[in-house]
Amino acid sequence: MSTRLEDTLAWMNELTAEMEERRKAVHRGGGAARQKKQRDAGKLTARERVTALLDEDSFVELGVFTEHAGFEMMRGLDAPGEGVVTGYGTISGRTVFVFSQDFTVLGGSLGKMHAQKIAKVMDLAVKTGAPIIGLNDSAGARIQEGVDSLSGYGEVFYRNAVYSGVVPQISAILGPCAGGAVYSPALTDFVLMSRGSSYMFITGPEVIKSVTKETVTFEELGGADVHGRRSGVAHFEADGDEAVLATIRELLSYLPQSAKEQPPFKQTEDPESRETPELLGIVHPDQRRPYPMVDVIRAVVDDGGWLEVQPEFAKNILCGFARLGGQAVGIVANNPRHLAGTLNIDASDKAARFIRTCDCYNVPVVTFVDVTGFLPGVAQEHAGIIRHGAKMLYAYAEATVPKITLIVRKSYGGAYLAMNSRDMGADVVLAWPTAAVAVMGAEGAANIIYRREIGGSQNPDSTRAAKISEYKERFDNPYWAAGRGYIDDVIDPKGTRQQLIRHLRMLREKEEARPFKKHGNMPL
């Protein structure tokens, strides 16, 4: 070996060794002490989260050696990797892009270069047609960088909005998320939170106390339970980082890589022809008797699999993902066990958002109906139930994915339309023999239609009962609506699974053109 070659190799080895030392320094993040503090708080480090989320040895890091922008107030401060780990890998063999904020580096604060690293992987996700997953753990805007850090947030927010509906965007809140930082997750398709270790709010407890004199803890103000049960900001909550990351993996199994693709098909050994006689024991024919609608769903779908979205928020309506004959579907269902399954403001918002998300990503929507109407009350009216209820009407009418509606029991009034009737664009409408479709229930209808007969009778109670019975026999069943073409078929509950799968298969290649427009104007 010549001396020149030996010198070249020695020089290259020195450069490679320097490169590896620099890489190790970046991987150490904020150092061993801060990483220990992170773990002692029950949280994984930024890199441990990426490893737990992705398939083994699949992560490819981008922007490893990025440094902060060097503003005057940042001089002398070290920020390995700019406080965020970015790159791509696979989940169940499918490519995803990910960014994971590192709280051990300047509290995971977002500066200009931190934001540009995130923007870079977002751009790549859209160019290649793959989901983007954000693992948020940040103190917020980097104060030392002033308006440049706000500009960084703007770059991310803009992409959240422009790329909405292009590729799935998923946000996991695994630590603090405050101030302007909360708006990026709020703009994404799904928000997941870790109980006890994450929170989201616009203004913190100290500011609130100084302005309104209210005293509140971080958890009480913006913890996972608050956003999963009261505000509706969070779609999923779980105990600890690992559980949140596992939920993301499950969620992605129902979603396509992008709006250009179909959701992944999953083979099942659950027979298409499997009958569901247990449904007869779940749903009582007495319309006033509540029952667990989730049991109906689980009985019908493949292997009882059900990933519920916002399970603790607006519990009078159920939204979630399942499979029928291997095909991913989104399910919307009234829940008679809560507020009698009526539609209120929160339920309308929850369902409308879920329907639109399914439509974005080509997930068929199956609707199970058992609804008396919209929730009455002064509070609901004054808070805008008209505006919020209109969101459901808009969402169903706007959606062009396959839409199947099954009327399990009652379907009355405006809620009949809001739960995806034939007129609102349902491709197939089915009903059980227990179903009833009308403007209102028999008691109320009879009191209005036959008020003169009842009022002029010598025995009003007896006449009222007779008229109610007469109305039920004529209208309070599925056959009047079926006769008018609003219901395609009245089916045996035991054959529900088979019927739904057959109709979904028929609709698989559905195409539906709409008039040209820039975009609609949803009632917000």
355-395 pLDDT, tens per residue? 999 999 999 999 999 999 999 999 999 999 999 999 999 99
Catalytic pick among 179, 223, 305, 389: 179
**pTM of the predicted structure, to 2 decimals:** 0.94
| pLDDT of 409 over the 90 cut | yes
Cite the beta strand spans of 174-303 per DSSP E: 176-178, 190-194, 199-201, 236-238
Catalytic residue, chosen from 31, 146, 180, 495, is: 180
Tokens coding 233 = 């900001």
Give the DSSP letter string of 201-241.
ESS-HHHHHHHH-----HHHHHBHHHIIIII---SEEESSH
On whether residue 272 sits in a domain, the answer given is: no
Are residue 11 and residue 155 in the same domain, yes or no?
yes
Residue 152 lies in a domain: yes
The answer to whether position 519 is within a domain reads no
Among residues 31, 129, 326, 414, which one is catalytic? 414
Residue 257 and residue 132: Cα distance in Å, rounded?
10
For the chain, give the mean pLDDT: 92
Q: Annotated catalytic, 179?
A: yes
Question: Is 366 domain-assigned?
Answer: yes
Q: Is 232 among the catalytic positions? A: no
For the chain, the domain total comes to 2
Q: Can you give the CATH number for the domain in which 432 is found?
A: 3.90.226.10
pLDDT tens per residue, range 206-262: 999 999 999 999 999 999 999 999 999 999 999 999 999 999 999 999 999 999 999
Q: Is 129 inside any structural domain?
A: yes
* Domain of residue 58, residue span: 3-252
Q: Is residue 515 part of a domain?
A: no
Q: Nearest 5°: CA angle at 316, between 346 and 250?
A: 85
Query: Domain check: are 159 and 298 in the same one?
Result: no
- What is the Cα–Cα distance from 428 to 435, expressed in whole angstroms? 16
Catalytic residue among 130, 415, 431, 436: 415
Indicate if 415 belongs to the active site.
yes
